[in-house]
Structure 1
Amino acid sequence: MRAGERGDTDVAHEDRRPPAAVLFNALGADYEKAFAHAPAHLSALEWLIERLPPGARTLDVGCGTGRPTAATLVAAGHEVLGVDVSPVMVALASRQVPGAEFRQADIRELPLEPGSFDGVCVFFSLLQMTRAEQSALLRRLAGALAPGGHLVLATVPADVEDLELAFMGHPVRATSFGPDAFAAVAEAAGLTVLSRHDALFTPDHPDGGPEPHLFLYCRRDTARD
């Protein structure tokens, strides 16, 4: 096979990659430029940091390039594990936030020890999962929180399933819940939704348009069976 050719095994391997890995491998640092300075995202991080104990163990689900979430948590003195399915994003994050630990993994499959985190961030990392997968993952994340721990959760609220659309010039398929239904999913997972915040944000990208964003500020109140 000549250099540059792709064999059947290469194609098959790419076909097995999660759609989110394909998308965010392509976006790379452009995603950080478009979204890293969203005011509501930064406010949610401030809210979480105010409630974390010193040197808290935190989990950043869908960590992307590590900025702003992991970088902000590390700067506040906390221990961070960032998880992303995209090897490009994990490589960027490891370079940009050397004080955190980053792991390339599918969070749906990553073992999570019960009660092992004081705080969890889930910023827009569920949208390429089915509704059943989103619900199941939130239950696992709630279980990974120590009692009294806090979780901040953000999505694009919409009553859609497997909707085909363009995101920053790339085709994607997205699934989400309406605002009340999404809050109900979080509550059913074992989280107490303390407050919610709606925002409208336009990414810094030529193909970006105004997006509705929903942030849920949550706490795990009791031990789970």
Structure 2
Amino acid sequence: MPRDRSEGWNDIADQYLAARSSIGADLVRAWARENLPPSASVLDVGCGSGVPIAQVLIEDGFNVFGIDASPNLVAAFHARFPDTPVACEAAQESVFFRRSFGGAVSIGLIFLLGEDDQREVLRRIGDALEPGGRLLFSAPREICQWDDLLTCRPSRSLGEDAYVAHLQMLGLRVVGCLNDEGGNNYFDVVKNAVRVGPP
């Protein structure tokens, strides 16, 4: 049987659309306004339906590109934002990583992936960022594992130390951690001008 690259989210897309709240949207909006140039290109990795994260970025005039592996969620994204490019692809292999971006966000995705896939997606995002570009991604600071409430599949955080070390190897620096109104942690990351680790 072919692997479900959406990690179970395509099967429960309707439940996700009904359950997704606006938690985190204000934080992402403030982060983008503070750290990205006006109208910068921003890659939304694991964009889902585009609500609320891509929505606030689009409303603020950023040039958003979305990636999601769920055909049902990508269809909802396209219906809501027909003029915004969106690719129905796994984050591990999206063609959008051939472009360069001033910013990237990945909210609610990284910790859904296996350890190797987490590292690969972060590498691809880092490669696609322009020097000085910013990344915001959500994951707990603690090393932990839990079952997702909707998909019932395991989620895992590698922990702050592991993320910081991996990102450093990629020429990226964690410059802070942010928390939204739901208590979720976000790593705020900047790309160095020169890569400092092995390819």
TM-score, reference length from structure 1:
0.76
- The answer to whether the aligner puts 1:16 opposite 2:3 as a matched pair is yes
Match of 2:11 among 2, 5, 26: 26
- The answer to whether the aligner puts 1:184 opposite 2:168 as a matched pair is no
**Which moves more between the two structures, 122-131 or 173-182?**
173-182
Alpha-carbon distance between aligned partners in 2 of 1:62 and 1:79, rounded to the nearest angstrom: 16
* Cα shift at 1:33: 4.3
The secondary structure found in structure 1 opposite 2:178 is strand
Task: Name 2:78's counterpart in structure 1.
Answer: 94
Q: Deviations over 1:50-88 (max 9, x none)?
A: 322232111000000101121111111121110000001
- Which of structures 1 and 2 has the bigger CA Rg? 1
Task: Name 1:173's counterpart in structure 2.
Answer: 154
Equivalent residues of 2:126, 2:172 under 8 A apart = yes
Map residues 30-45 of structure 1 onto 2, 5 A cutoff: 30-38=15-23, 40-45=24-29
C-alpha change, 1:19 and 1:183, in structure 2 (3 Å) is same
Structure 2 unpaired stretches of 5+ = none
Task: Name 2:68's counterpart in structure 1.
Answer: 84
Structure 1 unpaired stretches of 5+ = 1-11, 202-211
The secondary structure found in structure 2 opposite 1:124 is coil
- The answer to whether the aligner puts 1:145 opposite 2:132 as a matched pair is no
Equivalent residues of 1:28, 1:88 under 8 A apart = yes
* Cα shift at 1:157: 4.1
**Which moves more between the two structures, 49-58 or 92-101?**
49-58
* Cα shift at 1:178: 2.2
Alpha-carbon distance between aligned partners in 1 of 2:75 and 2:29, rounded to the nearest angstrom: 23
The secondary structure found in structure 1 opposite 2:174 is strand
Number of residues of Structure 1 aligned to a counterpart in Structure 2: 195
C-alpha change, 1:199 and 1:42, in structure 2 (3 Å) is closer
Task: Name 2:108's counterpart in structure 1.
Answer: 124
- Aligned identity (percent) is 27
**What letter matches 2:185 in structure 1?**
L
What root-mean-square deviation, in Å, do the aligned CA atoms of Structure 1 and Structure 2 show? Answer: 2.3
Equivalent residues of 2:174, 2:188 under 8 A apart = yes
Equivalent residues of 2:67, 2:94 under 8 A apart = no
